[in-house]
């Protein structure tokens, strides 16, 4: 009898386990056990023809801020709610990893911060983040200005040549110019290497663009074809990719060797107090190599540098591209920015102090990141089953998700959500100056600039995760201040010299996405020297 009881118990127990598992599965497939998650049925055609994040927006308006997107057997949960985003990114961050994104990026970035496993990430984040200290950023301000100056003199020369033919404007693809500028800046800032791409072409530059192209292709392709064992030898593009990677890796290996050969070991505090004004090499690589007690192997260091090269290049180029795209459609706002720039930047050039006074230009950068976030989607995969909190426009009870659930947090949807923004699709840099209480939204703290005193740019803290251009929580961007200062300086210096117009209509500028949102055929613009009449224009 005793035995039969325990057999019954065991049977019941295992039946419960099975029931629970099958409930979880059925609930997930049918829409969540706590409340019922709406389902959007994606057609394969939705993946082509237009960027996926446009369709995700339409379904967000239709199905609410947490829904399941089913593509045949594959399903994703799409999140467009600040409370749920805050939970996944910050409150329960370590129950999620980068999922599909890590699969795509690992062959390029190895164990760099973005795809790294948790253990490696913890070690390297602790070492890399202190490298972006104040004196480093101050030294970078000068470098940003010097590099922008190089781009400007190139454009001035092109204009001069036109003047001699009696014409006063040039036509060019500004997206390509911004891409070169951002590449030069990231090379110098991260490993003190001057790509010089504003003025020349080189095998290393070609290899960087080739690698970015492949990373982009992979992030829009849904079968990991590069994992097939013979792909590297059979598919010509894969061979080219392998060669491009080798060119960059050889270049980085050389720089690492050089930095290690000239290593001057010291501790973090002393490194952060170095005389950055007079340093020949103020790069992050120098900091990482010289840090006492961190004997990192060359492979890890190379993965770190490669990650920052890729993470910091196209993202910043894209911010500048969309800022100009938006300003060109709002000449009044371009003039307002130019009036501020004229009042703030002296003939001696831009400094950290002047950057602090360029409030309107800074807000333009933030507003461009709101409308065109880079990347538009954050990708996560749950490491265990979890219960997502209820969102504003979803079921208030929240949803249970099984382990292994793939999640897209749509920054694009959050940044254009009609529930959190007035005129969400309009370009209004001034919006960040106004506090919004939104007391009616349970669980969301609203928008309050005073929540982040001293911050030069609005961030996810101010908006309680309704505005998160650099993500949030422990995996937040390490290069945010670098990127924001770089784009503010480059934009201010260009607007100081030139008036910009789009060559065609705004509608003719088609969007494409991989990791970032960029144009299909470049940002074709007309550029001319500025006419400096701005009397009566206020910029506050």
Write out the residues near ligand HEM by the rule CB under 6 A.
Answer: 113-114, 125, 190, 307-308, 311-312, 315-316, 319, 374, 378, 469-471, 475, 477-479, 482-483
- What single-letter DSSP state applies at residue 270? H
- What single-letter DSSP state applies at residue 530? P
Cα gap 376→54, rounded to integer Å: 10
Pairing label, strands 74-79, 406-410? parallel
At 466, give phi and psi (nearest 5°).
-85, -20
Cα gap 466→460, rounded to integer Å: 7
Computed on alpha carbons and rounded to an integer, the radius of gyration of the chain in Å comes to 25
Nearer to ligand HEM, 182 or 341 (CB): 182
Output the smallest distance, CB 85 to ligand HEM, in A.
10
Cα gap 380→114, rounded to integer Å: 12
Closest residue to bound ligand HEM by CB: 479
Cα gap 407→88, rounded to integer Å: 10
Sign, CA dihedral 505-511-517-518, equals: negative
- What single-letter DSSP state applies at residue 531? P
Output the smallest distance, CB 181 to ligand HEM, in A.
13
- In the chain, DSSP finds a helix count (H) and a strand count (E) of 18, 13
Nearer to ligand HEM, 142 or 528 (CB): 142
Cα gap 214→107, rounded to integer Å: 11
Output the smallest distance, CB 459 to ligand HEM, in A.
11
Nearer to ligand HEM, 316 or 405 (CB): 316
Output the smallest distance, CB 79 to ligand HEM, in A.
13
Residue reference for tokens 């910050």: 90
Output the smallest distance, CB 208 to ligand HEM, in A.
15
Output the smallest distance, CB 471 to ligand HEM, in A.
3
Nearer to ligand HEM, 338 or 374 (CB): 374
Output the smallest distance, CB 349 to ligand HEM, in A.
22
Cα gap 325→462, rounded to integer Å: 26
Nearer to ligand HEM, 441 or 493 (CB): 493
Nearer to ligand HEM, 126 or 246 (CB): 126
Cα gap 220→200, rounded to integer Å: 30
**Dihedral of the alpha carbons of 310, 316, 318, 319, in degrees to the nearest 10:** 160
Output the smallest distance, CB 227 to ligand HEM, in A.
21
- What single-letter DSSP state applies at residue 453? T
Cα gap 366→371, rounded to integer Å: 9
Output the smallest distance, CB 186 to ligand HEM, in A.
6
Nearer to ligand HEM, 60 or 482 (CB): 482
Rounded to 10 deg, the angle between the 203-220 and 100-109 helix axes is: 160
């Amino acid at each position: 009898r005793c035995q039969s009881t325990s057999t019954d118990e065991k049977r019941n127990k295992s039946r419960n386990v099975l029931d629970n598992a099958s409930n979880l599965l059925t609930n997930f497939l049918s829409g969540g056990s706590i409340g019922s998650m709406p389902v959007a049925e994606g057609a394969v055609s939705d993946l082509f023809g237009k960027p996926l994040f446009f369709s995700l927006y339409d379904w967000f308006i239709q199905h609410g801020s947490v829904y399941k997107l089913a593509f045949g057997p594959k399903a994703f949960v799409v999140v467009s709610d600040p409370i749920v985003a805050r939970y996944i990114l910050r409150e329960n961050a370590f129950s999620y990893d980068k999922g599909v994104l890590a699969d795509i990026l690992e062959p390029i970035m190895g164990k760099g911060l973005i795809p790294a496993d948790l253990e490696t990430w913890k070690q390297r984040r602790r070492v890399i983040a202190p490298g972006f200290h104040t004196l480093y950023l101050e030294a970078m301000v000068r470098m940003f200005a010097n590099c922008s100056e190089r781009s400007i003199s190139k454009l001035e020369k092109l204009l001069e040549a036109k003047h001699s033919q009696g014409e006063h404007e040039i036509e060019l693809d500004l997206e390509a110019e911004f891409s070169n500028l951002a590449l030069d800046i990231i090379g110098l800032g991260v490993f003190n290497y001057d790509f010089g791409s504003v003025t020349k072409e080189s095998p290393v530059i070609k290899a960087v663009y080739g690698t970015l192209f492949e990373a982009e292709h992979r992030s829009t392709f849904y079968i990991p074809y590069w994992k097939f064992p013979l792909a590297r030898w059979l598919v010509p593009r894969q061979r080219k990719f392998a060669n491009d990677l080798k060119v960059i890796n050889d270049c980085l290996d050389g720089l690492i060797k050089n930095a290690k050969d000239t290593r001057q070991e010291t501790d973090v505090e002393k490194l952060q107090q170095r005389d950055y004004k007079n340093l020949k090499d103020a790069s992050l690589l120098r900091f990482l190599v010289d840090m006492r007690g961190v004997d990192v192997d060359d492979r890890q260091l190379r993965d770190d540098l490669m990650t920052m090269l890729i993470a910091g290049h196209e993202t910043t180029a894209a911010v500048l591209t969309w800022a100009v795209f938006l300003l060109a459609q709002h000449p009044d706002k371009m003039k307002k920015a130019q009036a501020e720039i004229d009042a703030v930047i002296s003939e001696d050039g831009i400094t950290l102090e002047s950057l602090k006074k360029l409030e309107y230009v800074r807000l333009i950068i933030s507003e461009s990141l709101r409308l065109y976030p880079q990347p538009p989607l954050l990708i996560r995969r749950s490491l265990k089953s979890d219960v997502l909190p209820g969102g504003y426009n979803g079921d208030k009870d929240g949803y249970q998700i099984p382990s292994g659930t793939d999640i897209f947090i749509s920054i694009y949807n959050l940044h254009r959500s009609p529930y959190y923004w007035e005129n969400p699709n309009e370009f209004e840099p001034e919006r960040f100056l106004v506090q919004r209480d939104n007391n009616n939204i349970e669980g969301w703290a609203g928008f309050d600039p005073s929540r982040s005193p001293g911050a030069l740019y609005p961030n996810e803290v101010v908006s309680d995760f309704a505005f998160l251009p650099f993500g949030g929580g422990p995996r937040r961007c390490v290069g945010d201040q670098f990127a924001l200062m770089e784009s503010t300086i480059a934009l201010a210096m260009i607007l100081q010299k030139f008036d910009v117009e789009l060559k065609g209509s705004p509608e003719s500028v088609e969007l494409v996405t991989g990791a970032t949102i960029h144009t299909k055929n470049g940002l074709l613009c007309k550029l001319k020297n500025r006419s400096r009449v701005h009397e009566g224009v206020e910029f506050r």
